[in-house]
Structure 1
Amino acid sequence: MDGSVLLLSSILSILYLFECSQIPVQEKMLLKALGLNGRPNPVNRAPVPKTLWDIFEKGIQQDNPCRMEGFQVPGNILRSYRDQGPLISSELQQGSLCLRKHLFFDLSAVEKQEQITLGQLEIKSRHNVYYGQEFHLRLFRILQMSLKGMRQHKKSQKLIVAQSFRLLHKSLYFNLTKMAQDWTNMEKNMGLVLEISTTSNSSSSQCEQIHSFIHISLLTVSLDPSSCKTSRVKRSSATPQLTPSNICKKRNLYIDFRDVGWHNWVIAPRGYMANYCHGECPYPLTELLKGTNHAVLQTLVHSTEPESTPLPSCAPIKLSPISMLYYDNNDNVVLRHYEDMVVDECGCK
């Protein structure tokens, strides 16, 4: 919507006047528009995955802002979830079994209107190491939870991955898109079981390699259709002419997230040039003021009946998106594209 940046600029200006101890109604409205249920307050800051940094630094594809390049899937929201599952009792780790772990990722932040287009599990080593020992990996989907202390029934889990690997400084990736889609329903989200074993009876030193170096995370790409535009207004190739200071035009406005108390959860950018529209739309409207047909007629009527008909308003006619990298309310790292955040051109409406 055309007035979204004006609303954003007004809200952020108002926030600067409030104490951080009390979140004003305006901020709550803006946070809700950004897909957040309150101002995030990250406690355990997860490192930002390199993939998210790379996509953020590459920027938004202006001609196709609702496609995540690098993954080749539709999407404008990228989330990285940390594993929250516990280790399964060491009593079960016998023979060649080094590690048995419950993997769980909380996808409650995904909104109802979002469509998950990719779910990717990443298992990697933390350091640049290589060991000749070969390991076997098995990944099970939990279909039914067992009571604490009871042995897992065979029918309560389904084998979905079985492969061998060596500890290298590279990641193992597994496509879990269908499961991630199911996991947005919390009743269906029982997680996974990861088992890692050696080819022979495990020695403590071999198993310590697994415990010390394995890091697990889930990445999802999702599409919020309400934030995508099917068409975009092309920039005018005409060279702008100088206009009087009181004429409708774009004015510079830089928003610094530190000034509004958002710097502790917004990772990047630190701020951005939002701009705003201000000025008069006098009669007769010139081509420079980019007035709509309605605005042209309104100024004509105003010239004859100024008391009953106001002049058109100066408003954004061309806006562009930005990307934000931030921690959400669950301490997940999120990369999200937001439409209509920067005023590029102004006109009379």
Structure 2
Amino acid sequence: MFMIVIAVAALACSTRARPPAFNYLEDPYAAENESEEVRSAAIKRLLEVFGMEDPPAIHGRMQPPQYMLDLYNTVADVDGVTKDPYLLEGNTVRSFFDKLRSEQVEFRFNLSTVARTEKILTAELHLFKLRPQAALMFNRHHFCQVSVYQLVDTSKGNNTHERKLLSSRLIPVHSTGWEVFTITQAVRSWMVDEGSNLGLHVVVRTLGGSQMDLKLIRFASGRNHHQSKQPMLVLFTDDGRRSAALENTDPDGMDITSSLPQAPMPAPSSRLARSVDHLEEEGVSMPCQRLPLYVDFEEIGWSGWIVSPRGYNAYHCKGSCPFPLGQNMRPTNHATVQSIINALKLIKGIETPCCVADKLFSINLLYFDDDENVVLKQYNDMVAGSCGCH
């Protein structure tokens, strides 16, 4: 349905530039080619809305990290609509798997898909700590010091690397599960100089400072363990769109223009939508209201790289704004004045106000990029939250 709306709009806007209609009747191939051109142009424009030039290449479908799935479900509802614009830091979160796949505690991540214009907010190293081997369970050490270092090249040619401490803390020796370390400083330096990305090194010591037995403290590696436990870098960034959207914010920090209501606005039923169409066919004008407009990513051909949602209800506004405008039509003062001028016919050519979206919500997209990284991105002004006469 969404593609049909776009196609109709494109066709309407290009009427003057076309040859006479009878040419298309005489040449059905021309009409078919034009239809394909309109579809191609519409999809290209939709990609631009999502900040892409081309859809990401579809490789062998990997399983998205559970962390990214949980994060998506935290910030978005079942249709991808943002629950709260302040739950997410920035508007983009990416997960990167370790490229070294070493058995040692060294890791490297390819950040080439991150635009240099993006603001790096937070970077985290996620490591899955494995349970100690049974023979070593009764070791006298109960805690250990885990330190994450950035490898820095200061050798000028002799292949030796110095280390720069990024994060360090105590963790229980006998614990198992994810451990998270902040490495923002390293990622920011890598974004300034891509060649400085030599990777990370993790050192585990006893509380006395001596080297810990790596058989006792083990982290899952990309080579020997399941994908669900692989070392991962999680990067929170802002591409600048979020900053602009938050300009319309009140002093208490609540987003005035796009805050989500506590309860979702009821969507008109399909029966109501059909009745509206039927009444319009009979020449009866319906008042301004919000109607469904479902965007189906599978129908567009994007289901191969989008993880969630499968589609979303963008809604659209339809109906008339007749005089007098009641408060239920959410009119602006300008619309009220325009309606009065139109009703009194004080000035020729003044139309009635238009039924438009007066509140817009953002949606979240969870998808694979060209490098098979999983990206969570928030897009502003994608859902008509309510309609009014403007």
TM over 0.5: yes
Does 2:67 align with 1:67?
no
Does 2:342 align with 1:302?
yes
- Of 187, 190, 203, 2:197 maps to 190
Q: Which residue of 2 aligns with 1:120?
A: 124
Using the TM superposition, give the Cα deviation of residue 254 of structure 1 relative to its aligned residue in structure 2, in angstroms: 1.7
Per-residue CA distance 1:59-84 (angstroms, 9 max, x = gap): 4597851333xxxxx33322111222
* Compared CA separation, residues 42 and 19, structure 1 to 2 (3 A): farther
Structure with bigger helix share is 2
Q: Which residue of 2 aligns with 1:225?
A: 243
Contact 2:167 2:183 in 1 (8 A): no
Work out the CA distance in 2 between the residues paired with 1:111 and 1:202: 37
**TM-score after normalising by structure 2:** 0.65
Contact 1:183 1:189 in 2 (8 A): yes
Q: Which residue of 2 aligns with 1:71?
A: none
Work out the CA distance in 2 between the residues paired with 1:42 and 1:192: 27
Larger Rg: 2
Measured on the aligned residues, the alpha-carbon RMSD in Å equals 4.5
Using the TM superposition, give the Cα deviation of residue 121 of structure 1 relative to its aligned residue in structure 2, in angstroms: 0.5
Q: Which residue of 1 aligns with 2:153?
A: 144
Larger RCO (CA under 8 A, 6+ residues apart):
1
**TM-score after normalising by structure 1:** 0.72
Using the TM superposition, give the Cα deviation of residue 297 of structure 1 relative to its aligned residue in structure 2, in angstroms: 1.8
Using the TM superposition, give the Cα deviation of residue 268 of structure 1 relative to its aligned residue in structure 2, in angstroms: 0.9
- Of 269, 276, 280, 2:309 maps to 269
Contact 2:330 2:388 in 1 (8 A): yes
Q: Which residue of 1 aligns with 2:359?
A: 318
Note the 1:1-349 alignment, pairs <5 A.
Answer: 10-11=5-6, 24-60=40-76, 64-68=84-88, 74-85=89-100, 87=102, 99=104, 101=106, 103-110=108-115, 112=117, 114-124=118-128, 130-131=132-133, 139-144=148-153, 152-155=159-162, 157-160=163-166, 169-187=176-194, 189-194=196-201, 211-213=223-225, 215-223=230-238, 224-228=242-246, 229-230=248-249, 231-233=255-257, 246-303=286-343, 304=345, 307-349=348-390
Unmatched 5+ residue regions in structure 1? 1-6, 69-73, 88-97
Per-residue CA distance 1:308-331 (angstroms, 9 max, x = gap): 222221100122222221112332
Q: Which residue of 1 aligns with 2:19?
A: none
Question: Which SS does the other structure have where 2:381 is aligned?
Answer: strand
Alignment coverage as a number of residue pairs? 318
Unmatched 5+ residue regions in structure 2? 11-31, 206-210, 250-254, 267-271, 277-283
Structure with bigger strand share is 1
* Compared CA separation, residues 278 and 154, structure 1 to 2 (3 A): closer
Work out the CA distance in 2 between the residues paired with 1:64 and 1:201: 45
Per-residue CA distance 1:190-226 (angstroms, 9 max, x = gap): 13143679969999xx999865237211001223313
